Structure 1
Amino acid sequence: MKRIVLFLLTNLAVMLVLGLVLSVLFAFFGISSRSIGGILVIAAVFGFGGSFISLFMSKWIAKKSTGAYVIEQARTDTEQWLVSTVAEQAQQRGIKMPEVAIYDSPEINAFATGPSKNNSLVAVSSGLLHNMTKDEAQAVLAHEVSHVANGDMVTLTLIQGVVNTFVIFLAKILAGIVDNFLNGDEEEGGGWTYFVFDMVFQILFGILASVIVAYFSRKREFAADKGAAEMVGANKMRSALERLKHNHESRLEGSMMAFGIASGRSISEMFASHPPLDARINALK
């Protein structure tokens, strides 16, 4: 319930902010929301705006939704090891020290998030600490630090923003064509058919767009595995991936799942944010 409420409140806030931005743009430039230019502005504002607001709020959302405890001062040997390991890896990759956190979950997982390379969060689950060796955990941390160093959060946000813009723009253009064909110009502001077909086209194009985003996400996972292997050794990274074969299903959601070491279920490999574990293991050989 906490995650649902947080999701609804966050998206409501985003919609209100973007709606205000659109109102200002339309009033200032005198653009009609039904013109090609107006539709493009709407598509760009909601396509990129939502993605970038989510990116800038990603650390806060991650902490709130997972209940992650940020290690400000290590209280145990395990916490001290986590902080020192991430610090060493961050220095090795030339980035500022990420915040390090632990969240309570039986799954073996970890994720990285944050708006930039030098403002990030690396979090590990309690299940990872209980079920992985230090060598395996070190490899997982290196994988997440590689995500940060590669700028994957910003890259995926840009890709998501581009595809979102195309989805919204094409859906509204096609919905307008269908609406004009069925109703003519009787309802200048857009009839109910416009809104129905706009929604239908956004769903259809959104499915296609998710395939594109998932493809880049899988490529990014291979790159993070390679980066981890270069930092700690391929054997440690392969061992960590082998351990994930016996994992609980991931409880992470959204961008946190995309940047987690382990992924959730997917109806098809085309929609999966992560490649199959065997493919990732073989790529390291």
Structure 2
Amino acid sequence: MNHFKTYMLLAGLTALFMGAGYLIGGPTGMLIALAFAVALNAFSYWNADKIVLRSYGAQEVDESHPEPLIRHYVTDVVEMAQRAGLPRPRVTVIQSDQPNAFATGRDPAHAAVAATTGLLSLLTRDEIRGVMAHELAHVKNRDTLTMTVTATIAGAISALANFAFFFGGSRDEERPGGMIGAIAIAILAPIAAMLVQMAISRSREYQADRIGAQIGGDPAALARALEKIEAYARGGYVNYEAERNPATAHMFIINPLNGKGADSLFSTHPSTRNRVEALMRLGVGQGTAARRPEPVQTLVPPSQGRNTGPWG
């Protein structure tokens, strides 16, 4: 049922894109929008993972890496992937002080996981395992392709809205929307696209938490990791690349945007507290200790003197 809802929401995004094209250029504009949406989806399917990894400067690593933290990270990901019945994903590291992680790839055979250096430095090994188990759950559920396509279409809708605002006021009879339609597109289309994107992302995150807890075998560790990551992200650990590319924020396990800009007005992630509560209930059901995470007391970013280990 969750997959059906996701596909319906994706269809809604595509319909929204076509509707915007109709208001701008009539039937011809709708057909152009449809062709563009198909081309975007095809491009996203084959190339989006490479573009995302390159934009974040992700470096592939393996068990031969000289840094013990990275070796542990790689071996844990490989072991959990085997446990989940997944092919070995590409394992990458991103230079960022903010602890966070994401997964990408069009299918499990072409998947990649990425963890920031901040995640490897600031979380314990069992918490890192919990985070990466969550990302492997996204791979197992094939969420990575869905979220990439969602981001691409949503970004295209925003671009189309800007186009409508500047060029949609023509008196050409093929443009049924006119100036009123152009203003409606410019204001309402990006908001509608964002709401659909939020709905898809939030439903996927809860399921990835549940399946990730099963893969990692420790719901409490994932719960602790979620609260720590959010605390660090809100406490001054900035992911500068994510701030420059907010359309990719939904890919991370916790919203990487620090909340100081308008891009964080509508979060693509569900409440961390609700996610933690669900994991704690899951832990109790499995008979594991699901204690509430301890508060993170010190939130001084590395730029203000905090040492984050071998990357600080």
TM-score, with length taken from structure 1:
0.71
* 1:237-264: CA deviation from partner (whole Å, max 9, x where unpaired): 1111121242124442346421212212
SS of the aligned residue for 1:139 comes to: helix
Q: CA deviation at 1:281?
A: 0.4
Equivalence for 1:235: 220
Contact 2:202 2:270 in 1 (8 A): yes
Moved over 4 A (4+): 157-169, 187-191, 193-197, 265-270
Equivalence for 2:254: 262
Residues 85-96 of structure 1 mapped to structure 2, 5 A cutoff? 85-96=76-87
Equivalence for 2:299: none
* 1:126-166: CA deviation from partner (whole Å, max 9, x where unpaired): 11111000000000110111111111122234556777899
* 1:23-43: CA deviation from partner (whole Å, max 9, x where unpaired): xxxxxxxxxx9562x333212
User: Is it true that 1:133 corresponds to 2:109 in the alignment?
Assistant: no
Q: CA deviation at 1:224?
A: 1.1
Amino acid at match of 1:209: A
Equivalence for 2:88: 97
Q: CA deviation at 1:52?
A: 4.0
Deviates more, 1:264-273 or 1:51-60: 264-273
Cα distance change, pair 95–41 in 1 and its aligned pair in 2 (3 A): farther
Gaps of 5+ in 1: 1-32
Identity %: 27
Contact 1:112 1:148 in 2 (8 A): yes
Gaps of 5+ in 2: 1-23, 281-312
Distance 1:196 1:92 in 2: 56
Distance 2:100 2:249 in 1: 9
SS of the aligned residue for 1:284 comes to: helix
Distance 2:112 2:157 in 1: 30
User: Is it true that 1:282 corresponds to 2:303 in the alignment?
Assistant: no
Distance 2:50 2:63 in 1: 19
Quote the RMSD (CA, aligned, Å): 3.4
Cα distance change, pair 127–163 in 1 and its aligned pair in 2 (3 A): closer
What is the aligned residue count?
241
Q: CA deviation at 1:74?
A: 2.2
1:208 corresponds, among 171, 180, 192, to 192
Rg: which structure is higher? 1
User: Is it true that 1:46 corresponds to 2:30 in the alignment?
Assistant: no
Deviates more, 1:157-166 or 1:107-116: 157-166
SS of the aligned residue for 1:273 comes to: coil
Residues 148-163 of structure 1 mapped to structure 2, 5 A cutoff? 148-157=139-148, 159=150
Equivalence for 2:307: none
Contact 1:47 1:163 in 2 (8 A): no
Equivalence for 1:146: 137
Distance 1:134 1:198 in 2: 52
TM-score, with length taken from structure 2:
0.66
Distance 2:267 2:93 in 1: 25
Distance 2:215 2:266 in 1: 29
Distance 2:83 2:46 in 1: 25
1:78 corresponds, among 46, 55, 69, to 69
2:267 corresponds, among 261, 266, 272, to 272
Distance 1:240 1:254 in 2: 22
SS of the aligned residue for 1:271 comes to: coil
Contact 1:85 1:138 in 2 (8 A): yes
SS of the aligned residue for 2:111 comes to: strand
Distance 1:95 1:130 in 2: 26
SS of the aligned residue for 1:124 comes to: strand
Contact 1:95 1:117 in 2 (8 A): yes
Contact 1:112 1:256 in 2 (8 A): no
